[in-house]
Structure 1
Amino acid sequence: MKFDNKTLDTEMDFIVATDKEFGEVIAMSKGIYGGLDYLPSRYHSWLKDANRMVILARKDGKVIALESVCIIDDGETMLVEGLRVAPSERGKGVAGILQKYCIQLVKEKYPNVKIIRLTRDDKLGPKDFRKYRLITKQGILLVRFNVKELRSRMDDIVHMLEEAGSELCPTVILEREEVKNIILSMTVSNKLLPSKTIIQDWQPFKPIESNLNLLLKKDLHWIVDNKQCPNFASLCTFPFRIPIGDDWFYLNIDMFGKDLAHIKSHLIAHLHNHTQNGHGNIMCQIFMEPSLWEDMAYFCKHVICVEIAKGYTEQYLLESDLHP
């Protein structure tokens, strides 16, 4: 499928991504995020999403850029993800042209969309704040460990915490049928979610039923401390492969709440769940209230004894209005 690009006055062609462009996309993205790129694990599933478009820009027959657009929030929000530009084309305005094209396409196909949302982890400048509103931000803690080695120590870690008087808070894994009622409750929405937003691994969702239906299609662990009146909630992906090297996986954990004891307990619970049968090495990205980062970095390094892979970084949730 090929689109008319005359209104954008560009030499690029735009096509809907298919499986056959996978090799070109991965070659174009090589080395991005220091080998921690999620796109190789998600590209094929993205193509199957009914509410998503993955658009490629081509120049002289070669793929030079990619952007994915997902329609969420009952059709009111355009979530922009996965922007990639080939190294040889960076700094030439390609990203801006591709985004304009995607916006044009969304306006035609989804006329009820009113908002553009995206998440970023780089520093924002005055230009960004003229273009976007900052909705919320979270601290990002990145750690790495060997699954087998950490598994061998998990019982000792729990025992050590108990011996030190640091009793772990309760953690309850939610069954699928329990998730909607608990996560959509006013208690969780108003008290725990940052700016009343479920941010799951870089994807921001309003806490509404249609979005929970999208999230429930994923393999996620949902944990709360108490089903009746939650004081803390978290969700975690299953490990997925990343191109940093053989036998390397990514694990993303989103923490909702501001209590340090709870975040420690939830982290222990998620690590215990995902090291029981796994193998290889894991890069684990933990998203949290920024004020908790320093204490959690100390806890990870000196108590759990995993390696801190990166210093403090932030995740920014941004949005702007989609004008007619």
Structure 2
Amino acid sequence: MGSDFTFREATISDYHDVMAIGEVYNGVDYLPSRYEDMMRSHNHTGYVSVVNGEIVAFVAACIVDNGETLVTRAGRVNDKYRGQGVYGSLLRFARKQIAAVGGVKYEAFTTLSKNFEENKDKIKAVYTEILIKNAMYYRSRFKIKDFKALPNDLNTMPTLLQKADLENIFSSDATCKHLFKSNRIVCGWVPFRLLSSNIDYILKPDTLLLASCRHDRSNNDVIYTCLTAGMHTPCKLGLVYSIDIFGGDVSEVRHHIQVHAKNLQSVADDRECAVTVMWEDNLLPADVESILNGVDMAEPTRAQAGKLYLLEKQFQ
């Protein structure tokens, strides 16, 4: 990489130049709608690489877990500068700035199958694999007018969670062990340890957090046996709605998906939607696809399946 590259913190006024780096995520990029909030947030800092006055790379550094974990997000490089070490140099610059502040012990990121498989050897040489989740992707104009009501089973109907509820869950070892096998909750692609200091980052205005308990199969120490988080974000396509599933069986998850579908209907305004669903090994992909097919979709694309990987290493 040439010496004409410089690095600095991003500002809100860099918005258009950062977006001009190039199209990413096939029309479902969340950064355009979240950039300003991220730059104003006390736990996010953006960094850019500049060459000849042009911003050619960006990454957001998100600090969670009581200040102990750096999560890198929304990384991107202009196609003209790929393969030249620009992004790696930008990450090293960001780490240096963060190290100067102190307190960070871990560095983590999430990625999908394609990127992981293409860079597996390089990633696994540095990072530890913490979690693998199944991922399913739909793209459609959702129509939920014909959605059939499910039986009113009070044992499986989900309830809306508030901050105090999540604090109770994180304080319950039995519930955490049941729901979060890796001692992490991943919401909207961001991994969090099960700490009360993370709750305000999880419970955002655009996030619907639901929980239910099947009393017939839970012990007295488990507060909830299924938890789901749905987050909606405007994007170039229209709207992306991400559903993260923790625990649960087919019956429980079906009720949760019904509530998320109604929420999606209320925010979609007939826009085209991309819906991603992520879960661990408690459900089969065929089960999830069957549940999603219960939502009447107008000419949906075929579901695409993959994996979400959570990788972490010691911060250096």
TM-score, normalising length: structure 2? 0.87
Q: Secondary structure at the match of 2:146?
A: helix
Structure 1 residue 217, shift from structure 2 partner: 4.3
Find out whether 1:249 has 2:220 as its counterpart.
Answer: no
What is the 5 A alignment of 1:22-41? 22-30=15-23, 32-41=24-33
Question: 1:5 matched to which residue of 2?
Answer: none
Find out whether 1:202 has 2:189 as its counterpart.
Answer: yes
Question: 1:233 matched to which residue of 2?
Answer: 227
Question: 1:311 matched to which residue of 2?
Answer: 304
Question: 1:282 matched to which residue of 2?
Answer: 273
Return the letter of the residue paired with 2:80.
Answer: S
Return the letter of the residue paired with 2:18.
Answer: V
What whole-Å deviation, never above 9, does each CA across 1:150-192 have from its counterpart, x for those lacking one? 2x112xx22xx55xx9999321112344332234422331110
Match of 1:178 among 156, 165, 173: 165
Question: 1:42 matched to which residue of 2?
Answer: 34
TM-score, normalising length: structure 1? 0.85
Structure 1 residues 183, 273: closer, same or farther in 2, change over 3 A? farther
Question: 1:266 matched to which residue of 2?
Answer: 256
Question: 2:313 matched to which residue of 1?
Answer: 320
Taking only aligned residues, the RMSD between alpha carbons, in angstroms, comes to 2.4
Whole-angstrom distance in 1 between the partners of 2:153 and 2:76: 45
Q: Is the 8 A contact 1:12 1:59 kept in 2?
A: yes
Find out whether 1:222 has 2:209 as its counterpart.
Answer: yes
Question: 2:121 matched to which residue of 1?
Answer: 126
What whole-Å deviation, never above 9, does each CA across 1:184-228 have from its counterpart, x for those lacking one? 422331110140101001100001011113223443211111397
Unaligned runs of 5+ in 2: 215-221
Structure 1 residue 53, shift from structure 2 partner: 0.9
Identity across matched positions, percent = 23
Whole-angstrom distance in 1 between the partners of 2:169 and 2:123: 35
Find out whether 1:141 has 2:136 as its counterpart.
Answer: yes
Return the letter of the residue paired with 1:113.
Answer: V
Whole-angstrom distance in 2 between the partners of 1:51 and 1:182: 24
Question: 1:74 matched to which residue of 2?
Answer: 66
Structure 1 residue 129, shift from structure 2 partner: 0.9
Aligned length: 301
Whole-angstrom distance in 1 between the partners of 2:264 and 2:126: 39
Whole-angstrom distance in 2 between the partners of 1:183 and 1:130: 32
Structure 1 residues 277, 107: closer, same or farther in 2, change over 3 A? closer
Q: Secondary structure at the match of 2:182?
A: helix
**Structure in which a larger fraction of residues adopt helix:** 1
Q: Secondary structure at the match of 1:178?
A: helix
What whole-Å deviation, never above 9, does each CA across 1:62-102 have from its counterpart, x for those lacking one? 00000111111111111111111011111111111111111
Structure 1 residue 257, shift from structure 2 partner: 0.7
Structure 1 residue 260, shift from structure 2 partner: 2.1
Structure 1 residues 266, 172: closer, same or farther in 2, change over 3 A? same
Q: Secondary structure at the match of 2:133?
A: strand
Q: Is the 8 A contact 1:194 1:256 kept in 2?
A: no
Whole-angstrom distance in 2 between the partners of 1:168 and 1:231: 10
Structure 1 residue 277, shift from structure 2 partner: 5.8
Q: Is the 8 A contact 2:242 2:275 kept in 1?
A: yes
